[in-house]
Structure 1
Amino acid sequence: MKDYLMYLIKRILSLIPVLFVVSIIVFLIIHITPGDPATIMLGEDATTEQIEELREDLGLNLPLPQQYLNWVIGALQVDLGSSYFMDESVTSSIMGHLSPTISLTIISQLVALVIAIPAGIFAARRRGTIADQSVMGVSLLGMSVPNFILGLLTMLVFGVILRWLPVAGYAPLNTGLWNHLQYLILPAVSLGTLQAALITRITRSSMLEVLNNNYIKSARAKGVKERQIIYFHVFRNAFLPILTVIGQTFGGLIAGAVITETIFNIPGIGQLTINSIERRDYPMIQGIIFFVAIAYVLINLIVDLLYGVVNPRVRLDRK
C-alpha cells in the first residue's frame, strides 16, 4: 500500500511539468495571434491614446514574460483572471458553463460504450465473417465522418424531417430528466460516434488477442460455457487496452464539445470558447484551455489508477 501511494504521488508530481508546458504554449499561441482586445473593445473609432490607455489598464503593455508570470501566480491561487468582455471572473464563467458540457460529455461517452463494447465483442466472436466485416466497415465510416457533418445530418433527419427531437438548445436537469435528455441525444450521438468507432476496433483487437491464448482453449476443452469464457475470462483480460482508450476518448470529448456545442447551440464550455476566441478575450481563452488540460490529465490519471483495480498484477508490477 505504501509503495502504491508513492507511485500515486509520483504520478501526480509528473503532471506538473505537463501543465507547465501546456500553459506556456497556450499563452504564446494566444498572444501571437493577430488581433488586439483593446481595439475590439473600443471599436474602430477609438483613438490611439484611448487604445493605449486601455491596454495599460488590462496589462497588455507589459512584457510577455511578466504577463505570463502574473497569470501563473494567479492560477496557483485558483484565480484565472477576469474576462475583458464579461463582468465576472474567468473561474466563475467557466463554472457557470460547465454543467452542460459535463452532461454532454458523460452522455456521449455512455452512447459510445453502449454501442462499442457489444459491437467489438460481437465482431471478435465472428472473426472473418460478413458480420465482422460489417461491424468494421461501420466503425471505419464512423471514424471518417466529421462530427459536425454527422451533427447536421442528425439535426436534419431527426429534428427537421421526423421532428422526434429538438433541433438545438439546452434544458437544465432541474426542468425534468426527459426534457434534459432530449436536447442532448442528438449532440451526444454526433459527439460520441468517433469514440464508439475507436472503442469498437480496440475491443475487437483486444478480444482476439486474448482468444488466441492457450488457457482459453483449455477452458473450452474443459466444457466451460462460451458465454462464461467470453465475459469472465476473455473480456476481463482484454479490458486494460479498452480502458486506456476510454480515458483518452473521454478527454477528447471535452475538446470535441467545442464544435458540437456551437452547432446545437448548447451554452457550455465549447460555445464559451468560440465566443472568447472571436473577441480575443485572452484571460478567458487561457483559462478554458488550461482547465481542459487539467481535466484531460486528471482523467488519464484516474484511468491509470484504475489499472490496479481491474488487474491487481499491474499494481504489483509498479511497486
Structure 2
Amino acid sequence: MWKVIIRRVLLMIPQLFILSILVFFFAKLMPGDPFSGLIGPHTDPHEVEALRRAAGLYDPWWEQYLRWLGHAIHGNLGMSYNLHEPVTTVIGQRAVNTFWMSLLSGILTYLIAIPMSIVAARNEGKWQDQLWLTYNSITFGIPPYVFYL
C-alpha cells in the first residue's frame, strides 16, 4: 500500500510541474496584463509603465516563469491589484465559505440521491422508476452554466 502511495505522490510532482507551465502560459496568452484594469481616463501612462517594469513583465518568459514558480512554491501568490491585499489572504478568507458550501452540497446530494435510488430500485420498471430515470436524464442533460443565468 505504501508503494502505491509513494508512487502516486512521485507521479504528482511532474504533473504539477506541467500544470504550472500550462497555467503560466495560458495566463500569458490572455489579452492585457495585470495592470490593464488599472488604466482609466486620468491614469498616467508612465505610472502604469513603471508598474510593468517593476513587476518584470518585460523580462524574458523563462525568467518570469522561474520567478513565478519560486514565489508560488514559497506560498507567495502576489498582491491583488483590485483589493490591495495578498492573494493568499483573499483565498484564505473565501476558503471557509467554500468548505461549508461544499459540505452542505454533499449532504444535500446524498439526502436526495440515496432515497431516490432506493425508491427506483424497489420499483424497478414501474412508474416511480421511470419518474426518477426521466428526472435524472433531464437534469444531467442541462449544462451547469444554465443555472447561473
What's the TM-score, normalizing by structure 2? 0.85
**1:7–1:121 distance in 2 versus 1, CA, 3 Å:** same
Letter aligned with residue 22 of structure 1: L
Map 1:84-123 → 2, pairs under 5 A: 84-123=81-120
**1:118–1:17 distance in 2 versus 1, CA, 3 Å:** farther
Judge conservation of contact 1:39–1:46 (CA < 8 Å) in 2.
no
Q: Which residues of structure 2 form unaligned runs of 5+?
A: none
CA distance in 1, matches of 2:61, 2:81: 18
Letter aligned with residue 125 of structure 1: R
Map 1:1-319 → 2, pairs under 5 A: 4-147=1-144, 149-150=146-147
CA distance in 1, matches of 2:132, 2:61: 52
State the number of aligned residues: 149
Q: Deviations over 1:34-92 (max 9, x none)?
A: 12332321424445433321101222222222212111111221222222233322111
What is the CA RMSD across the aligned residues, in angstroms? 2.2
Judge conservation of contact 1:42–1:51 (CA < 8 Å) in 2.
yes
**1:115–1:83 distance in 2 versus 1, CA, 3 Å:** same
Q: Deviations over 1:258-310 (max 9, x none)?
A: xxxxxxxxxxxxxxxxxxxxxxxxxxxxxxxxxxxxxxxxxxxxxxxxxxxxx
Q: Which residues of structure 1 form unaligned runs of 5+?
A: 153-319
3-state SS of 1:35 partner: coil
Q: Which has the higher contact order (CA 8 A, sep 6+)?
A: 1
* Higher helix fraction (1 or 2): 1
